Amino acid sequence: MTTATEDRPTGPPEGTPGTEPFLSVRDLRVRFATEDGLVKAVDGLSFDLPRGRTLGIVGESGSGKSVTNLAVLGLHDPRVTTVTGDILLDGRELTHAPRRALERLRGNTMSMIFQDSLTALSPYYTVGRQIAEPYRKHTGASRARARRRAVEMLGRVGIPRPERRVDDYPHHFSGGMRQRAMIALALVCDPELLIADEPTTALDVTVQAQILDLLADLQRERGTAIVFVTHDLGVVAGVCDEVLVMYAGRCVERGTVRDILKSPRHPYTWGLLGSLPRMTDDADEPLRPIPGTPPSLLTPPPGCPFHPRCPYRDQVPDDRCRVERPPLAPEGGGRASACHLPDERVRELTPGAVR
């Protein structure tokens, strides 16, 4: 029987040889105490992200993407949340860092574009002030300088007439403009780590392209490390270097963007990409819904967490899928996947696509 601790990697994930990870996450576990019991939202997640690289995180709703990212920023409520494991940012341990130390890093060294722009901006302050304040706080700039910076950032994210809109309140902005304002807020201090959680979902394609260009510029100029959560395969293909596929709070597959989009190995990834037996060449489509629903994180199923929905579980001998949790097994070249299907069977199912 495979246990959670056996799943724990002992060294950095492969795929980034010779590059020091800027963000390193090891065996991250996030538990929420609820009236119904303990929700295991993230269950032993590990990954590395070097400077100047973009890691995509994909998975269905509820797979733990946002919970992972909030843990990196230290934003969970400690009264109801237990976070264990190691989160290292440029060698600094964040998991047990004091609140003040995290506050100094947040919005400065590391920042996040939140999934929900409505809750991320305060209705009580002008948009400009909300962008200028963290800049003032972290750089010591004067009010006038910070205001100019807010105008500049609003312009960079495509807000028309930013010198006038800087004094608007969030409710004066449309949903798409609020999203852009939040992106300006996340970028105002030129973060070294940017976590972008579905940053462009609410935006039309032209603005989306503009924002993606802006992030690419930031990465080129500053070597920013970016974690990018998205349901959009076109965005994954366009911006990510590596991809981590999450299911039920765990990584079920990871690899380069080409590995994952062109030759995925895990049945869950096949389902997400809708790519079996035809390996998709068309990345310009969203992830697809998979029949069935993700498992309860209060009482996850035994064995492979995907087994209740997996069409291939009966192809694995001895009923292993139902009783034994597959470890995340490295496959060389930075790839890893967690599935009991024998390699020969995977090759038969994905002709010509799997090494």
Ligand X SMILES: Nc1ncnc2c1ncn2[C@@H]1O[C@H](COP(=O)(O)OP(=O)(O)OP(=O)(O)O)[C@@H](O)[C@H]1O
Binding site for ligand SF4 (CB under 6 A): 267-268, 304, 306-307, 310, 312-313, 316, 321, 326, 339-341
Closer residue to Mg ion, CB minimum distance, 7 or 198? 198
Asked if residue 32 binds ligand X (CB under 6 A), the reply is yes
Closer residue to Mg ion, CB minimum distance, 110 or 166? 110
Among 23, 28, 41, 237, binds ligand X (CB under 6 A): 41
Contact positions with ligand X (CB under 6 A) in 274-303: 297
Contacts of 210 (CB under 8 A, 6+ apart): 157, 158
The encoded tokens of residue 5 equal 């601790």
Closer residue to ligand SF4, CB minimum distance, 33 or 323? 323
Contact positions with ligand X (CB under 6 A) in 110-139: 115
- Is the sign of the CA dihedral 268, 271, 276, 281 positive or negative? negative
- From ligand SF4, Mg ion, ligand X, none, interface partner of 306 (C-beta below 5 to 8 A by class): ligand SF4
Q: At what angle do helices 143-156 and 175-187 cross, to 10 degrees?
A: 130
Closer residue to Mg ion, CB minimum distance, 65 or 313? 65
Asked if residue 66 binds ligand X (CB under 6 A), the reply is yes
Q: How far is the CB of 282 from ligand SF4 (least distance, A)?
A: 24
Contact 338, 329 (CB under 8 A): yes
Contact 212, 239 (CB under 8 A): yes
The C-alpha torsion from 24 through 27 and 31 to 37, rounded to 10°, is: 170
Cα end-to-end distance, the chain, whole Å = 28
What distances in angstroms separate CA 346 from CA 84, 146, 277, 280, one per listed residue? 34, 55, 11, 16
Q: How far is the CB of 306 from ligand SF4 (least distance, A)?
A: 5
| Helix, strand, coil content of the chain in percent (nearest 5) | 35, 25, 40
Place of tokens 């035809």: 278
Asked if residue 230 binds Mg ion (CB under 5 A), the reply is no
Contact 101, 93 (CB under 8 A): no
Asked if residue 64 binds ligand X (CB under 6 A), the reply is yes
Closer residue to ligand SF4, CB minimum distance, 50 or 267? 267
Residues in binding contact with Mg ion, number by CB under 5 A: 3
Q: How far is the CB of 253 from ligand SF4 (least distance, A)?
A: 10
Contact 279, 263 (CB under 8 A): yes
Q: How far is the CB of 320 from ligand SF4 (least distance, A)?
A: 7
Asked if residue 82 binds ligand X (CB under 6 A), the reply is no
Closer residue to Mg ion, CB minimum distance, 16 or 66? 66
Closer residue to ligand X, CB minimum distance, 41 or 341? 41
* Exposed / middle / buried, residue 86 (Cβ in 10 Å: 0-12, 13-18, 19+): middle
Chain contacts with Mg ion (rule: CB under 5 A): 65-66, 115
Chain contacts with ligand X (rule: CB under 6 A): 32, 34, 39, 41, 59, 61-67, 115, 297
